[in-house]
Amino acid sequence: MAALDGRGGVPQGDADIGLHERQAAPVLQLRQVRKAFGGAQALAGVDFTLLPGEVHALVGMNGAGKSTLVELICGAFTPDAGDIVIDGQHRSALTPRRAHAAGVSIVHQKRTLVNGLTVAENILLGRLPARGGRIRWKQAHREAARALDGLGIEVATEAVAGSLGPAEQTLVEIAREVHLGGRVLILDEPTASLGGRDAQTIHRLVRTLRDRGTAIVYISHHLDEVLDLADRVTVMRDGHVAAVARAAEIDLPALINAMVGDRLVHDRPGRNRSAGEAVLELTGLAGGRLHPFDLTVRAGEVVAVLGPAGDGQSELFRLLTGLRRAKSGHLTVNGAKVAPGDVGAGLAAGLRCVTGDRLSYGLVPVLSVDENLALVRRGRLRPWLVRWRRLHAEGRQARERYGVTTLHADPPVASLSGGNQQKVLLSAWLDGEPAACLLEEPTNGVDVAAKAEIHHIVDGLAERGTAVLLGSSDVDEVLRLADRVVVVRSGRIVADSPIEKVTRDDLVTLTAGGDQS
C-alpha cells in the first residue's frame, strides 16, 4: 500500500502511476482545481488523472467533494482556479455541451430514460434518422440494435423503457452514452438500487468497456464493489484528495481510514433525557427492496436509519409516507394502528412526516411562506374559509420560532435559500407537539449554519418527548443526533446499536459492506 502515507495522504503527480500506465497519455487531468460556494471551499487544490482503459473509482463520505468534482468534469460548474485537460487540450471554459462534444458522458444515479418511449427512441433521442420529414423506423431500430449488440446487451429495441427492470434501464443508458461517443464515462452509483445479480451484470459491462479502452470514473458507496472492480481509487475528504491507490494494493480498513481520517465527531450535546414508552412501532413492513422490517422508537428517542444509497433505507420512508405502496406490514402510533402511507390517519394519530425532497413533495414552491406553513394545519382542521389575517399572524410566529429569514414579509417559498426552505418545511410539519415524526435527510442541501439550527430543532423534539425516526446518509449527522442507529444493507437490518457503542469507522464499514466489529 505504498500509495498511502501515514495520514491517508498521497504525493500528487505521477508517483502513484506505474511504468506501464505512464506510457498511455491521460485522457483527463485535473490540476489543482478549486471551487468555493459562498464561504465554503468545496474543492481545495484537487489533482485527478484518468487513463484510457481504466476504471478509476472516486469515493468519500458525503460532503467530501465528489459531486463538485464530477460537475466540473461535466462542465456544469466552472473552477475558480486550476486546469482541466481533456486529450491534452486545456478546457478552461467547459460547458455541458462542450464536455459532451469532447467525449465526456455521465450516467446519473437517478435514471434519465423517457419511460414512455422505446429503447430505440431513447438511444437515438434527438438523432432519429429521417427523410422527407418522416422517421425511418427500421433504420432507427437497426442502429439501436447495433449499439446494444456491440456491448453484449440483450434488450429489445421495441421495448418501452418504462417496462424495463432497473438493471436493464441502466444498461440502456450506458449504451446510449457510448453510442454518442462517450470516451470518458462517469458512472454515478450505477448499482445503488440493484440486487447482487443485477449488479454483476453492470460490472460485466464496465469491464467490457474498460477492455475496449473507455476511461471510466466509477462512484460508489459500496467499497467492496470498488475494490473488486476498480484499477485505481481516489479517496476524497473535506475537499482534498486524501489518498490515491491501486485497488489491488489497498484493503477495506485502509480505504475506510483514508475516508474518515482523524476528524473528531461534531460536538454532541449532553443528553438529559431517557427513552420512555414505545410510541412508533413498525411490524413486518416490506415493499420494493425493503424486506420485512421491524422497528420500535420510544418517546424522547432519536433512532437513525443509515445505509448506502438505494439499499433500502430510503424505501422505508417512501412506504411510510405513501410514495410507494407497502406489500405487507403495519405501523402503530401511540397504540393506534395506521396503514402505511395513510398520511391523514398518521396526522390524526400524532405522526408527522418530513420528506427528503422538499420541493417535490413537501412544499408548494409557488405559494407564499405563510400559505405553506398553513397547509398541514388546514389539512388537519379542514376549514372551509381561509382567515388571511390569522394565517399571516400564525405564519409570523412560526417563522420566528423556527428562525426562518426572509427579505419580505411573506415571499414565495421558492425564493428562499435551501436552509430557509427546509426550516419552513419543518415548521409546517412539526407545529405543535407531535407524538412521533419521520425526518428524511433533514439537512440535505443546506448550509452549515442552517444545519446547526436544524440539529437543535431535532434535539428539542426529542427533549419534549417526541419519538424521532431519522433517515440520514451523513454518518457525522447520525453520530451527532441519534440515540440509536440501525444500519440497513440490501434491504435488511445488519446492525442495531446504541450510538455510544459504535464509532464512525464502524458505521462506514457496515454501510460499505464490511462486517460488524
pLDDT at 406: 65
- Which among 162, 138, 165 is positioned nearest to 153, based on CA atoms? 165
Note the pLDDT tens digit of each residue in 20-36: 454 578 999 999 999 98
Rg for the chain, CA atoms, rounded: 24
At 367, give phi and psi (nearest 5°). -85, 160
Q: Long-range contacts: 410-415, Cβ < 8 Å, 24+?
A: 410/368, 410/369, 410/370, 411/368, 411/369, 412/365, 412/366, 412/367, 412/368, 412/369, 413/363, 413/364, 413/365, 413/367, 413/368, 413/369, 413/372, 414/359, 414/365, 414/366
Determine the pLDDT at residue 55: 96
> In the numeric block, which cell numbers belong to residue 70?
464530477
Give the mean pLDDT of 271-295.
Answer: 83
| Residue 90 vs residues 82, 102, 270: alpha-carbon distances, Å | 10, 11, 52
Confidence of residue 268 (pLDDT cuts 50, 70, 90): low
Residues 6+ apart with CB under 8 A from 256: 223, 505, 508, 509, 512, 514
Letter string b/e over residues 51-79, b meaning 16 or more CB atoms within 10 A of that residue's CB: bbbbbbbbbbbbbbbbbbbbbbbbbebeb
> Which residues are paired to 50 by β-bridges?
28
The tens digit of pLDDT for each residue in 101-153 reads 899 999 887 778 898 999 999 999 888 988 888 999 999 999 999 999 988 89
pLDDT per residue as tens digits for the range 225-246: 889 999 999 999 888 999 999 9
Q: List, for residues 59-111, the tens digit of each pLDDT value.
A: 987 778 888 899 999 988 889 999 999 988 888 778 889 998 899 999 887 77
Residue 46's beta-bridge partner residues?
Answer: 33
Confidence at residue 187, expressed as pLDDT on a 0 to 100 scale: 93
User: What is the predicted pLDDT for the residue at 18?
Assistant: 47
| CA dist., res. 473 & res. 439, Å (int) | 12
Contact 197, 122 (CB under 8 A): no
In the chain, what are the domains? 1-103+183-263 (3.40.50.300), 113-172 (no CATH), 266-350+434-517 (3.40.50.300), 368-432 (no CATH)
User: Is the separation of the CB atoms in 276 and 300 below 8 Å?
Assistant: yes
**pLDDT computed for residue 231 by the predictor:** 95
- Has residue 210 got a pLDDT over 90? yes
DSSP 118: B
Q: What contacts 352, CB < 8 A, 6 or more positions away? A: 346, 376, 429, 430, 434, 436, 437, 438
Q: Cα–Cα distance between 5 and 18 in angstroms, integer?
A: 17
Contact assessment for residue 90 and residue 84, using Cβ atoms and an 8 Å cutoff: yes
- Rounded Cα distance between 408 and 166, Å, is 45
What is the pLDDT, as a whole number, of residue 385? 61
**pLDDT reported for residue 306:** 87
Calculate the average pLDDT of the chain: 82
Q: Whole-angstrom Cα distance, residue 460 to residue 468?
A: 11
174-179 contact pairs (CB < 8 A, 24+): 174/107, 174/205, 174/209, 175/123, 175/147, 175/148, 175/151, 176/122, 176/123, 176/125, 176/147, 177/105, 177/106, 177/107, 178/105, 178/147, 178/151, 178/209, 178/214, 179/123, 179/147
Q: Give residue 491's pLDDT band: very low, low, confident or very high (50, 70, 90).
A: confident
Q: 194, 161 in Cβ contact below 8 A? A: no
Is 157 within 8 Å of 144 (Cβ atoms)?
A: yes
Q: What is the DSSP letter of 270?
A: P
Kindly state the average pLDDT of the residues 269-280.
74
pLDDT one-digit tens code per residue, 404-453: 776 566 678 887 777 788 888 888 888 778 899 999 888 877 766 778 88
297 sits in which H/E element? strand 290-298
Helical axes 418-430 vs 448-463, angle rounded to 10°: 10
The answer to whether residue 263 scores a pLDDT higher than 60 is no
Average pLDDT of the residues in 335-350 = 85
Q: pLDDT category, 215, cuts 50, 70, 90?
A: very high
Q: What is the mean pLDDT of residues 308-328?
A: 77
Confidence of residue 322 (pLDDT cuts 50, 70, 90): confident
Percentage of the chain with pLDDT > 70? 86
The single-letter code of the amino acid at 233 is V
